[in-house]
Amino acid sequence: MDLTQLLSWACIVFTVGMFSTGLTDLKKMRESKSADNIQFLPFLTTCLNNLGWLFYGTLKRDHTIVVVNIIGALLQIIYIVMYFLYTKQKRLVVLQTLAAAAVLVCGWLYFTTVLTEGEARLNQLGLTCSVVTVSMYLSPLTDLVAIIRSGNVQVLSFPLTVATFFTSTAWVLYGLQLNDYYIMVPNTPGIFTSLIRFYLFRKFASTSQGSPSYKPLHI
């Protein structure tokens, strides 16, 4: 097994593991028969992100990207369906899902009809997916600032932080090996935000009590 294959398996294992942390919320919803205190948009945006990267991986003929994002998209769809079953805000969920579907259709039409040249299409799609991924990694920075001020790390998930760190590192190394900056660059913030979280755990964990909650893909 060469280095590329090793990194490929690492990306698949670590990423699927990170996506699977959403099963914690799934269990909570089934036990409580409620979706209260669980966020819906991370499931939806992650699903869109998975589908975007799936298209990128298909165009690039990269089986690692394809496999990871097929599994990721299927898991997010399961989370979305279960959330819909247990939430009291079904109308809002339907509207948000329809809006996401509209964005997905517009993106699909653009990349399949307007932009048809192979290299240009791959580059623009890679850039789009990279921007979305970076924004998802950086979106919780305001939460980290609030944690620093309060000294309370109960809202952070240590297993998710570990999974994010290894997942981001694996993808950065994989992108480096393939010389693909669209894979390498957007995953770099995941390493830094994870390191910040590790620091916060070390500084504040001893003063916090209780089990941390999970916020899917707020990394």
What is the tens place of the pLDDT at every residue in 174-217? 999 999 999 999 999 999 989 988 988 888 776 554 443 434 44
Rounded CA-CA distance 143/140 in Å is 5
What's the pLDDT score for residue 206?
62
Give the residue among 125, 132, 131 at the shortest CA–CA distance from 100: 132
- The structure tokens listed for 120 are 């240009």
Instruction: Please give the helix or strand (H or E) that residue 143 lies within, else none.
Output: helix 141-150
Contact by Cβ (8 Å): 201, 164: no
CB atoms < 10 A from the CB of 173, how many? Answer: 19
Three-state DSSP state, 212: coil
For the chain, give the mean pLDDT.
87
In a domain, residue 36? The reply is yes
In a domain, residue 114? The reply is yes
In a domain, residue 210? The reply is no
In a domain, residue 215? The reply is no
Instruction: Please give the helix or strand (H or E) that residue 205 lies within, else none.
Output: none
Rounded CA-CA distance 97/127 in Å is 24
Segments forming the whole domain that contains residue 142: 3-205
Q: Record the pTM.
A: 0.85
What's the pLDDT score for residue 215?
43
In a domain, residue 217? The reply is no
Domain total for the chain? 1
Residue numbers of the chain with a pLDDT score lower than 70: 1, 155, 206-219
